[in-house]
Amino acid sequence: MATKLMDKAKKEKADEFYTQLSDIENEMRYYKEQFKGKIIFCNCDDPYESNFFKYFALNFNHLGLKKLIATCYDSSPVAFTQLSLFNCGKSIPNKNRRAYKIEITEVSDFNADGAVDLSDVRYLLQNKDNTLTLLNGDGDFRSHECVELLKQSDIVVTNPPFSLFREYVVQIIENGKDFILIGNTNALTYKEIFKLFKENKIRTGNTNFNVGMYFFVPDDYLKFHKIVDGKKMVRVSTSCWFTSLPVKKHNEYLTCYKRYSPEEYPQYENYDAINIDKYTEIPYDYDGCMGVPITFLDKYNPEQFEIVALGIVGSIDFSSEKRMEILKDGKGTGTFTINAKGTLYKKYNPQVDKKPPAFKDAETGELYSSIYARIIIRRRNPNEN
Ligand SMILES: C[S@@+](CC[C@H](N)C(=O)[O-])C[C@H]1O[C@@H](n2cnc3c(N)ncnc32)[C@H](O)[C@@H]1O
């Protein structure tokens, strides 16, 4: 029994995390102008459970949308159990459900009270101009019929399955569409996603990058952080928004107040760049390559800085091939590596380094600290500080 539960826990992936309306509202309020006259596509969203659909249906007129399309995936485990919004009287697939799409082109303020409420949405689904149609396939965002809907739309807005994030984003970009998506900050370091950052085709959204989000999870999930109104919720500290649309903070210039000194900004041993531990400490007078933490991307203004590479093997060419012993808690392990397992490293400095050294030069005995997760950047206009 215990093994069965553990197996189940392992299978629980972030693919079935459902977004809160408040998180959607907080981000969407920045894009009002961009939504006007547009076709919004929520393609991982069962209208009966997705707050993305709910948000756009309820704000259809306020945002001046042309159309709202939502498609659901037929293996979603929470369908019809969680955020049941409407009871529209149409023939809706039940337990043996099939994937379907909803297309909304008209929302009248039925109550004539100036606001669109849930009863209007119920009415909306009975309106002959708003259709609910079964799909032929399973509603996979990669299926032919869903790609055809993508081609008709302007902006894709959703929280897609995390395990498919790379191909999900690549498909939208290949089809030349805009997007606002929830993803994981780890995705910043995926080769495909990082390339898009370099090309300025993706950026982080408006919501604070470091706060994380709570998501609803299916009732049978074993791991959760709290229960709200009888629904289990999980906090993901690394979730954030990604978009192709303009975001004000990425046009703002970072004020650099620190002066460069070789003592404070040591060079890497295997790449020609200085190490910077906090993006706020980027020196105003250094024009060469700099390694900054990944969180820099949340402040990245492509007019001020150029992204050169990700500081890991495969993204940059390391300038040395030292044979080193791997240390654990500063002590030798008898195991050796070339080039610090493919990461950046710098000379160990006992005065400032909080962690013990991670590597020892097999020939000279020199100690090194490894530097994980750095982005190599350079100032675009060297004279502009
Ligand atoms: C992270 S959940 C988010 C659901 C909803 N967008 C939200 O934010 O509340 C991802 C959703 O994508 C669905 N899904 C999984 N694989 C899919 C696929 N290949 N195509 C379309 N949807 C998929 C899952 O069933 C799940 O409902």
Q: Above 80 in pLDDT, residue 14?
A: no
Mean pLDDT of 234-262: 96
Q: List pLDDT tens digits, range 163-221.
A: 999 999 999 999 999 999 999 999 998 999 999 999 999 999 999 888 899 999 988 88
- For residue 94, pLDDT beyond 70: no
- Sequential DSSP letters for 258-296: BPP-TTTSPBPSSSS-EE-SSGGG-BTT--S-EEEEGGG
Which of 13, 18, 40, 44 should be mutated for ligand 1, with most atoms under 8 A from CB? 44
Given the DSSP bridges, would you call strands 231-236 and 226-228 parallel, antiparallel or unpaired?
antiparallel
Distances (CA, A) of 169 to 25, 197, 244, 374: 22, 12, 10, 23
Spatial distance between the Cα atoms of 80 and 20, rounded to a whole number of angstroms: 16
CA separation, residue 164 to residues 12, 81, 160 (Å)? 15, 24, 8
Which residue out of 73, 221, 234, 238 has the highest number of ligand 1 atoms within 8 Å of its CB and is therefore the one to mutate? 73
Strand partners, 41: 69, 156
Indicate if ligand 1 lies below 6 Å from the C-beta of 53.
no
